[in-house]
Amino acid sequence: MKGKIIMELKNYIGEKIKYLRKSAKMTQNDLAKILGTTKQTISRYEKGERKANQDILFTLCDVFNVSIDDFFPPISTKEAPETAQNDRDELLEQLTDNYIQLDDIRKNKLVDTSRELVEEMTASVEEELFEYHVYEKLSAGIGTAYFEDRNYDTVYFDEEIDHDLASWVYGDSMEPDYLNGSVALIKGTGFDYDGAIYAVDWDGQSYIKKVYKEKDGLRLVSLNKKYADKFAPYDEDPRIIGKIVGNFMPMET
C-alpha cells in the first residue's frame, strides 16, 4: 500500500511539473538548463519515473513562483469549496496573529519547525540510489596514467545510466560540462563521429576530450578555451577507450 501511495505521489508531482513548465512556455531543455540537469531527467520527473527531491522542488517553487503546497494533492474535504476556503483563511489569519505575538527567538523556531515539516513531507517520497564503481583515474587536464591500479570507489547517483566503465574526472579542461571531481561514464563503442567526447589513451596517459580524426592522428580538444588542442599522431598509437555517455556529481548518502 505504501509503495502505491509513493508512486501515485510521484505521478502527481510529475504532472504538476509538466503543467507548470508548459504554462511557462518552457521546453524540457529550458527547464533542464535552469536545474543544471538533462532533458532526459526532466522527462523522467514528469512521467513519475524519478523522484524530484526537496531541493529540486524548492527550486521549482522559485522558477514558477508557486508554493511547495502546489506540488502535492489538496487535502480532500466534504465541505463546499467556499466553506473550505473560509476555513483556510481563518486558519491563516490565526497563524499570522500568533506569529506576530511571538518574540524573535520563537518566530525563528516556528519557521524552522515549519521547514522541517515540509522536508519531512517531501522526503516521504523514497529515492532509489544506484551504485557505481569509479576507478582511478582519467584526466580532464594534463593527463594521467590510465588505471594505475584497479582500486575503485563506490559512489551513488539517483539515475541508472548504462555504461561499461566509470572513472573520476580530474582537472578543469572540460569545464563547464565535466567538473573536477565528477564521475565520467564510458561506453566502449569505439569512434562514432568527430566532435563527440571520448576517453582516449595516448602515450601512457588518459584524457577526456572532444576528438577529431585527422589524416595523421587524433586532435584532442578541450571545452575550456584556456587549454590548447593536443595532437596524438597515429604512429604513437593513440587508442579510444570509449565514448562518454554520462557524467554526474556523486550524491551524499
Q: Label residue 72 exposed, middle or buried (CB < 10 Å: 0-12, 13-18, 19+).
A: middle
Q: What is the pTM of this model?
A: 0.50
Given this model, what pLDDT does residue 50 score? 81
pLDDT-derived band at 141, boundaries 50, 70, 90: low
C-alpha cell recorded at residue 148: 594505475
Distance between CA 182 and CA 213 in Å, rounded?
A: 27
For residue 36, give every residue at least 6 positions away whose Cβ sits within 8 Å of its Cβ, in sequence order, or none: none
Distance between CA 250 and CA 24 in Å, rounded?
A: 31
Sign of CA dihedral 190, 192, 194, 197: negative
Given this model, what pLDDT does residue 87 score? 63
Given this model, what pLDDT does residue 4 score? 44
pLDDT-derived band at 233, boundaries 50, 70, 90: very high
> Which among 134, 241, 222, 126 is positioned nearest to 176, based on CA atoms?
222
Q: Which residues pair with 158 in a beta bridge?
A: none
